[in-house]
Amino acid sequence: RIGPAFRTSHPLASGPVVQPAPTVDGFVETFLGELNYGQGTLLSQSTLNDQYLALARTVRRYLMADWLETGARRRHAQQKTVGYLSAEYLLGRQLGNNLLATNLQDVAEEAMRRCGIDIATLRAQEVEPGLGNGGLGRLAACFVDSLATMDVPTIGYGIRYEYGIFRQTFEDDRQVELPDSWLSLGSPWEFPHPERQVLVGFGGSTETSTAADGTQHTRWVPDWTVLGMPYHYMVPGFRNGVVNTLRLWSARATHAFDLQIFNAGDYTQAVRAQTFAENISKVLYPEDSTPQGKELRLQQQYFFVACSLHDFIDNTLPADFDLHRLPERIVFQLNDTHPVIAIPELMRILVDRKGFAWDEAWEVTQRCFAYTCHTLLPEALEVWSVELLGRLLPRHLEIIYRINEEFLEQVREAFPGDEMRVRRMSVIAEHPERSVRMAYLATVAGAKVNGVAELHSQLLRDKVLPDFSQLWPEKFTNVTNGVTPRRFVRLANRRLSELLTDTIGEGWVTDLDRLRELEPYADDASFREEFRRVKRENKERLYRLLAVRDGLRLPQEAMLDVMVKRLHEYKRQTLKLLHIVSLYDDLVSGRVAPEEMTPRTVVFGAKAAPGYHLAKEIIFLVNSVAGVVNADPRVQGLLSVAFPANYNVTLAEKLIPAADLSEQISLAGKEASGTGNMKFALNGALTIGTDDGANVEIRRLVGDENFFLFGMTEPEVERRRAAGYTPAEVYETTPALRRTIDLVASGHFTGGDRQAVAPVVDNLLHEDAFMALADFSSYLEAQSRVDAAYADPEAWTRSAILNVARSGFFSSDRSMRDYLERIWHS
C-alpha cells in the first residue's frame, strides 16, 4: 500500500496548482522557463528537441491543475470506474491533441512565432507512441479520449512497450522492419511512479493447507518475480477541465544485478535477471488479428493485468473497502482476449488473499468483467496450451479448471445428455493439444459479451459462440465502434472543421449528430465549392508532405483513391492491385482511350506482420507495380500508385482528409468492423466497399446512392464456399481477370522475373482463401461507377457532403454511451 499522503494545513498543499496564464506572454514565459530550468539551455543554444520538449512540458502545465483536480474528485466521489484493460493503445502524437484539448493552438503558435520558432517543425519532432498494431489499439485510444470528454471516471490500463510497432522501410521494394525507439529522445508526456510499483509472480507451484475447521486454503508460491512500474499519461477531455489517466506498466527486475557475480567478472550473468525481466515490456508483438503463441506474450498479458488489478484493489480503493462491493466501483472491460487472464487473477486475489469463499468470489468476479470480441477469424481466437499456462501460472490454471468444471455442470443441467455440446463448450480444448480457450473463459465469466458492429455481433452469436448465445442470449450485445472526432476531424482536418463550424456552429465537436444540420448545404452550390476547396487544399498539403517524406510526385487533379490498413489477405489489397493492373492494361493496350479515363492516384499504406510471408510478398508486388506504372509515360497523369512507407496515425491524419475514395473491400464476414471506414466517411470520402463490418451501417446511414457497394454478401460467400470454390475456374472464365493476372504473372512489373510474383499469383489461382477473384468482376463494375460519378464534380461533392452529414453516429462518444447503457451500467 502506498504511504500516507503528506498532510499539512498549508492552503497550497490541497488547493489548485497555479496554472500559467493562457496568454501569449504567459505561454512564452513558461516555455522559456521550461527551456532554461527543465532542459538547462538557452533559447539561442537550444536544439529542436530541446524546444519540442520544452513546448510539450509547457502544454503539460496547462493540463496539470485539471489532472490533479480530476484525480481528487474521482477519489472522493466513490463512483464506478471503467478499467479499460487493453494490451494496445495506438495513441498518435500527443502535442497537437493536447493543444487542441486546452484550446491553446493559436496562443502556442503565436508564442512560438515570437520566439522565432515554427511550431509545425516542433510538432514534427514528436515520435508517436505506436503502442498498438492497428484498429484494436487505435480504438482503445479513441475510447479513452471520449470517456474523458464525457467525464466518465476511467483508468486505461496497458503496457508501456519500450519498442512499439516496428518502423517500416522498403529496400528493393520489400518491407524491412526497424525498431521503433520512440523513447530515445525523451518522452515528455509520461510520469513514472516508482512508489506505486507492483510485484508480479510467475512459475512455481501451489500449496494447499487445511485449517483446524477443515477448510482448505491454497497459496501460490511463484519461483520468480518482476516489478511493474507504472507510467501515467494524461488523457484530457475536450475543453471540459477533465483529465483522466492512462496507466501503462513497464517491467523491471526485482534485483537490478547480482553484485557478487559482477565482482567475479561475469558482467552478462550479473544483469541476466534484469534483462530477463525487462524483456516482458520490451516490444509490442507486431501481429494484427492472429495470436502469437509465444510464452513472452502470455507473460506480457499476465504482467499487465496483475499490475492493474493490484493497482486498483490495493492502491486505488480505500484500505477499508469491502470487496464484496467491488462491482459497484469497477468494471473491467476486456479489450479482446489479451487481458482475459485477469479473470482467474481476480478469483485468486479474492479467494487466496482476501479469504473469500469460492462462490462469493465468483459472484463478484462475474459482475466485474465484460468482454469485447474484435474478430471473426476463428484462428484469431486466442488459446494457451495447458502445459504453458500451468508452468507459468499454476494457480490460475487450477482456478480455470474449477470455473470450467462448474460451468460444464451448468451446461449439463441445461442440456441433459448432450455431451457433444459439453465438449464443444468446454473452456479446455482437447485438440490439437490441451489448451485454454480464452474467448470462452471471457464469455463464461463476463457479464456481457459484445461485438463491434451489428453484422459482427450477429455473426459472433450465430457462428463464433453459438452455443453460448443459446445458453445466455441476454449476455450478448452489440456496440458499433466509433472514432474520436477531436483527433480525426477537428485536429486532422482543420479546414473542414472551420467550414463546419462556420456553417453549423462549434457544437459538433462533442455532439457529432449535429453534423446532420449540414444536409441542406449539400444542395448549396457555394457550399459545395467551399467543400471542394477544402479537399483540394488537403490534397496539396498531403502531396507536399509525401514529396518531402517519400520523394513522391503526385498529380494534383486526379481522384485520390486510398487503401490504408494492416496488410492482410482478408482485407484484400490484392483485389485493389488487380484493379490497378487492369486499369493500366486497359490504357496501354488502347482498350480505353486516355480521354475516357478518370485520372486516379492510388495510395496504399500498410504494414505486414514480420512473420507473415504472403503479406510481405503482396507489399513487394504493390511496390513493383507502382514502380512500373509511375515510370510509364503512356499513363502519366492518368494513373499513379504511391505506397509511402510506415503508415501510422500521424500519416493517417494527413491522408484521410485528402481522400476522395475510401477502399473498404474485405471479404464479407471477415472484417469485424473497421474504423478507418468511419474516418474516411467523416472526412468526406465516398466508400467503395463490401457488405462487411461497419460498412453495412455506413451504407445504411449515408444512403445507397452515396456508397459504392460490390461483392458477395456473407451468406453468398458461405454458399459459394460450400459449393466448392475454385479460383482457377473464375480465372479461366473471366477474360479481364485473365488478362490482368497474366500480365502480373509474365513478370512485366518485376523486370521479367516471373519467380518474384509467383507466391502471390499462385496463391490467387490455387487458393484465394478470401475470394478476391470471385469478387473481381463486381469490384471492377463498381469502380466504373466510381469513375462515372467522379466525372461529375457537383454530384460527387453532394455525396461527399452527405457522407459527412450522416456519419455523426460513428463518433466514439456514441460508442461510449452505448457501452455505458448496455454494458457498464446495466
At how many degrees (to 10) do helices 613-631 and 758-766 cross? 110
CB 629 within 8 A of CB 640: yes
Is 616 marked active-site? no
Catalytic residue among 484, 601, 675, 797: 675
Residues 418-457, mask of contacts with ligand CBF (x by CB under 6 A): ----------------------------------x-----
Q: Which helix (H) or strand (E) holds 529?
A: helix 525-550
Options 61, 160, 329, 374; binder of ligand CBF; rule CB under 6 A:
374
Within 10 Å of residue 742's Cβ, how many Cβ atoms?
A: 14
- Of 677 and 783, nearer to ligand CBF (C-beta) is 677
Q: Which residue intervals of 115-249 are DSSP H helices?
A: 119-125, 135-149
Catalytic residue among 571, 576, 607, 654: 571
Q: Which helix (H) or strand (E) holds 682?
A: helix 676-682
Judged by CB under 6 A, the stretch of 135-143, 231-239, 601-609, 766-774 that binds ligand CBF is 135-143
Instruction: Tell me the β-bridge partners of 219.
Output: 207
Confirm or reject binding of residue 310 to ligand CBF (CB under 6 A). no
Judged by CB under 6 A, the stretch of 605-613, 670-678, 787-795, 810-818 that binds ligand CBF is 670-678
**Measured from the CB of residue 450, what is the shortest distance to ligand CBF in angstroms?**
10
**Measured from the CB of residue 508, what is the shortest distance to ligand CBF in angstroms?**
23
Residue 415 corresponds to which cell in the numbers above?
A: 442440456
- Of 374 and 461, nearer to ligand CBF (C-beta) is 374
- Of 141 and 578, nearer to ligand CBF (C-beta) is 141
Q: Nearest residue to ligand CBF, using CB?
A: 135
Judged by CB under 6 A, the stretch of 110-118, 134-142, 412-420, 540-548 that binds ligand CBF is 134-142
Instruction: Tell me the β-bridge partners of 229.
Output: 250
Confirm or reject binding of residue 139 to ligand CBF (CB under 6 A). yes
**Measured from the CB of residue 686, what is the shortest distance to ligand CBF in angstroms?**
20
Options 245, 673, 783, 807; binder of ligand CBF; rule CB under 6 A:
673
Give the separation between CA 692 and CA 455, rounded to whole angstroms.
Answer: 7
Is 634 marked active-site? no
Judged by CB under 6 A, the stretch of 29-37, 392-400, 633-641, 665-673 that binds ligand CBF is 665-673
Question: Helix count (H) and strand count (E) of the chain?
Answer: 35, 25
Confirm or reject binding of residue 135 to ligand CBF (CB under 6 A). yes
**Measured from the CB of residue 681, what is the shortest distance to ligand CBF in angstroms?**
14
Place of cell 508526456: 189
Confirm or reject binding of residue 619 to ligand CBF (CB under 6 A). no
Give the separation between CA 24 and CA 46, rounded to whole angstroms.
Answer: 20
Catalytic residue among 654, 679, 798, 814: 679
**Count, residues near ligand CBF per rule CB under 6 A:** 16
**Measured from the CB of residue 725, what is the shortest distance to ligand CBF in angstroms?**
23
Is 282 marked active-site? no
Give the separation between CA 555 and CA 599, rounded to whole angstroms.
Answer: 9
Q: How far is CA 492 from the centre of its chain?
A: 17
Segment 284 to 303, residues that bind ligand CBF, using CB under 6 A: 288-289
Residues 688-707, mask of contacts with ligand CBF (x by CB under 6 A): -----x--------------
**Measured from the CB of residue 566, what is the shortest distance to ligand CBF in angstroms?**
7
Of 366, 311, 313, 373, nearest to 339 (Cα)?
Answer: 373
**Measured from the CB of residue 224, what is the shortest distance to ligand CBF in angstroms?**
31
CB 272 within 8 A of CB 245: no
Judged by CB under 6 A, the stretch of 111-119, 133-141, 184-192, 248-256 that binds ligand CBF is 133-141
Is 571 marked active-site? yes
Angle at CA of residue 319, ends 315 and 320, nearest 5°: 150
- Of 58 and 666, nearer to ligand CBF (C-beta) is 666
Confirm or reject binding of residue 134 to ligand CBF (CB under 6 A). yes
- Of 333 and 375, nearer to ligand CBF (C-beta) is 375
Residue 619 corresponds to which cell in the numbers above?
A: 507489399
What 3-state DSSP class applies to 742? helix
Per the omega criterion (within 30 degrees of 0), is the bond before 735 cis? no
- Of 528 and 571, nearer to ligand CBF (C-beta) is 571
Confirm or reject binding of residue 375 to ligand CBF (CB under 6 A). yes
Angle at CA of residue 566, ends 543 and 164, nearest 5°: 90
Give the separation between CA 230 and CA 310, rounded to whole angstroms.
Answer: 12
- Of 87 and 234, nearer to ligand CBF (C-beta) is 87
**Measured from the CB of residue 299, what is the shortest distance to ligand CBF in angstroms?**
21
- What is the Rg, in whole angstroms, of the alpha carbon atoms belonging to the chain? 28
Instruction: Tell me the β-bridge partners of 201.
Output: 225
The DSSP 8-state label assigned to residue 127 in this structure reads P
Q: Which helix (H) or strand (E) holds 640?
A: strand 639-642
Q: Which residue intervals of 207-324 are DSSP H helices?
A: 259-263, 267-270, 272-278, 295-310
Place of cell 509545425: 120
Give the separation between CA 86 and CA 321, rounded to whole angstroms.
Answer: 26
CB 587 within 8 A of CB 594: yes
Please report the beta strands in 138-204, taking only residues with DSSP state E, as ranges in sequence order. Answer: 154-159, 167-171, 174-178, 190-192, 198-202
- Of 173 and 691, nearer to ligand CBF (C-beta) is 691
Catalytic residue among 74, 93, 456, 565: 565
**Measured from the CB of residue 724, what is the shortest distance to ligand CBF in angstroms?**
28
Confirm or reject binding of residue 675 to ligand CBF (CB under 6 A). yes
**Measured from the CB of residue 650, what is the shortest distance to ligand CBF in angstroms?**
19
Pairing state between β 686-689 and 661-664: parallel
Q: How many CA atoms lie within 13 A of 473 on its CB side?
A: 2
**Measured from the CB of residue 682, what is the shortest distance to ligand CBF in angstroms?**
15
- Of 93 and 568, nearer to ligand CBF (C-beta) is 568
Instruction: Tell me the β-bridge partners of 191.
Output: 232
Catalytic residue among 74, 338, 374, 448: 374
Catalytic residue among 566, 600, 748, 814: 566
Judged by CB under 6 A, the stretch of 32-40, 130-138, 172-180, 681-689 that binds ligand CBF is 130-138
Of 242, 260, 9, nearest to 147 (Cα)?
Answer: 242
Task: Give the residue numbers marked as catalytic.
Answer: 374, 565-566, 571, 675, 679
Binding site for ligand CBF (CB under 6 A): 134-136, 139, 288-289, 374-375, 452, 481, 671-675, 693
